[in-house]
């Protein structure tokens, strides 16, 4: 009986796939502990993007407002401090345009490739308004970890509240 159980264990363990990707499967391997994002979820910017983990995670959430516009909430945590803000977002090809809603102009032209969103290495001076002294949004890179509005609602602001809560009704 032990031999039979051991043989079944080996058979089941050997049923893994070789790493080839089929339609609807993960675009890139997720960071440890993250759920893979399906290819279909990269066709729209809506969802949750993250870097890091736990309380130190940087997060970008994107939802669709009642008006049809896309809105975002953003928290970027760095060793030098934190940046946060919210506003409108649009996507054209591989460019994700984020425009902060606030007292200082901060248009960001991020690069969106597959599940990766990368902020440019330099940003307009107005973007420093949204950051603690010494912190910056420049060069931030986040990976899409969920492609639905429900995923976007998992993002948390600096005090632990839902980062994109209320943005959909704007």
Quick one: pLDDT at residue 36?
Answer: 54
Q: Greater confidence, 1 or 71?
A: 71
Q: Greater confidence, 12 or 46?
A: 46
Q: What is the pTM of this model?
A: 0.75
Instruction: Identify whether 44 is part of a domain.
Output: yes
Number of domains in the chain: 1
Quick one: pLDDT at residue 53?
Answer: 82
Instruction: Identify whether 170 is part of a domain.
Output: no
CATH number (domain holding residue 68): 2.40.128
Quick one: pLDDT at residue 72?
Answer: 96
Distance CA 118, CA 110 (A): 5
Residue 66's CB is within 10 A of a number of other CB atoms, namely 8
Instruction: Identify whether 13 is part of a domain.
Output: no
Instruction: Identify whether 67 is part of a domain.
Output: yes
pLDDT digits (tens, 9 = 90+) for 41-79: 667 899 999 998 877 899 999 999 988 899 999 999 988
Segment of 31-35, 43-47, 166-170 carrying the highest mean pLDDT = 43-47
Q: Which residues of 132-142 are buried (b: 16+ CB within 10 A; e: fewer)?
A: eeebbbbebeb
Number of helical H runs and strand E runs in the chain: 2, 8
Burial of 144 (0-12, 13-18, 19+ CB in 10 A): buried
Instruction: Identify whether 40 is part of a domain.
Output: yes
Instruction: Identify whether 166 is part of a domain.
Output: no
pLDDT digits (tens, 9 = 90+) for 96-152: 999 999 999 999 999 998 889 999 999 999 999 999 999 999 999 999 999 999 999
Instruction: Identify whether 14 is part of a domain.
Output: no
**pLDDT band at 39; cut points 50, 70, 90:** low
Task: Quote the domain boundaries for residue 146.
Answer: 33-152
Quick one: pLDDT at residue 151?
Answer: 93
């Amino acid at each position: 009986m032990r031999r039979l159980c051991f043989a079944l264990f080996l058979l089941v363990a050997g049923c893994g796939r070789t790493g080839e990707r089929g339609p609807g499967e993960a675009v890139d391997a997720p960071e440890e502990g993250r759920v893979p994002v399906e290819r279909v979820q990269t066709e729209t910017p809506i969802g949750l993007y993250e870097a890091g983990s736990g309380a130190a995670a940087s997060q970008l959430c994107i939802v669709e407002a009642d008006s049809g516009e896309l809105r975002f909430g953003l928290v970027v945590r760095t060793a030098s401090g934190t940046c946060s803000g919210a506003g409108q977002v649009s996507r054209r090809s591989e460019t994700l345009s984020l425009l902060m809603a606030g007292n200082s102009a901060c248009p960001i032209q991020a690069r969106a490739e597959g599940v990766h969103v990368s902020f440019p290495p330099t940003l307009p001076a107005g973007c420093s308004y949204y950051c603690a002294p010494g912190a910056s949004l420049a060069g931030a890179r986040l990976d899409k970890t969920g492609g639905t509005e429900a995923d976007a609602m998992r993002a948390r602001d600096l005090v632990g509240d839902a980062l994109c809560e209320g943005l959909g009704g704007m």
